[in-house]
Each structure stands twice: as structure tokens, then as C-alpha cells.
Amino acid sequence: MSLTAAIVMAMSLKVPDSKGHLNYRAIPKDGADAVVSVCAKTSAPAHCAAVLVTLSFRESNNTMTAKHDHDQGCGAWGALCTYPHETWLEQAASAWSLVLRSTLACKEPLALYASGQCGAGLWVAREYMRIARKIALEFADQIDH
């Protein structure tokens, strides 16, 4: 089976908050569709989707119009407002490009994404990746690779 919005929405409900409580607010269908669109093009769609739903919930509680970091960050994924963010698809694509950049630049894959530099935000980066890996593993058998 390929990655679907229903699977992405179910994945998003597996992301715990910082106290370990499960999310009760799924990513909206438009957001899930955007994640599918971005992640279906990757070689690891389950991992991509798990990372994006983890970041969306942890950064904004799945809120497309969220503001972050003294209004320098915009949208569900908290990317700088200078990145495209008018639609869910633009936000998901911007977030995934930042995830890839962070992964290539840093030993800890999400460090640059989480803190703006490779040497900071390591605890948060590791926590996000731990959550995403667990979710990806849980849904891997439902998604073609």
C-alpha cells in the first residue's frame, strides 16, 4: 500500500507531547495530503512522514498559522517565514528541505532544524528523531518502500 492521508493522520496521533501524553489532534487532512505529496517522492516515505508529523505536532500542535521565535518562524513546521509557507504543501516541502539540509550538515540529523546550528538543540533533535523512528517502524508494513 502506498502512503495515504489516512495513514499520515493516524501517524500524527502517535506523536507524544513533551510529557509523554499522546496527541489528540491529528494533522488536518490538507496537512496530511501535503505530507503524502512530499514524502511519496522519497525513497523512505514512512520515515519522511513520521519525521514531518513529529515536527508538525511538536513545533505547532499541527497549526498551519502558528508563529514561532518572536514571529521569525511561520507555520506548522516552524520554518523561518522567509521560506514558502502560504499553503500546507509549501510548508511541508520547506520543512522537508530543511530536514534534509540538517541531516547532511550535522552528525545529529535534526540538530540544525531544531536549533539553527549543529552543536545545539541536541536533546530535542534526538527526542524528535526517536519519536519519528518509532512511528515509522510502527507503520512501515502499511507503506510500500
The percent helix, strand, coil of the chain (3-state, each to 5) is 55, 5, 40
Q: Is the pLDDT of residue 15 over 80?
A: yes
Q: What is the rounded distance in angstroms from the CA atom of residue 56 to the CA atom of residue 98? A: 13
Tens digits of residue pLDDT in 52-101: 999 999 999 999 999 988 888 899 999 989 988 999 999 999 999 999 99
Specify the amino acid at residue 20. Answer: G
**Grid coordinates representing 72?**
521569525
The single residue listed with the C-alpha cell 550535522 is 106
- Residue spans per domain, the chain: 5-142
Q: What is the rounded distance in angstroms from the CA atom of residue 135 to the CA atom of residue 74? A: 25
Task: Give the global pTM.
Answer: 0.95
CA 69, distance to chain mean position in Å, is: 18
Q: What is the rounded distance in angstroms from the CA atom of residue 69 to the CA atom of residue 113? A: 13
Name the pLDDT band for 109 (thresholds 50, 70, 90). very high
Could you give the percent of the chain with pLDDT greater than 70?
99
Residue 74 CA neighbour count, 13 Å, CB half: 12
Q: What is the rounded distance in angstroms from the CA atom of residue 55 to the CA atom of residue 131? A: 10
Specify the amino acid at residue 33. Answer: D
CA 107, distance to chain mean position in Å, is: 19
- If we measure between CA atoms, which residue out of 134, 136, 128, 93 comes closest to residue 109? 128
What are φ and ψ of residue 79, in 5° steps?
-70, 155
Q: Is the pLDDT of residue 1 over 90?
A: no
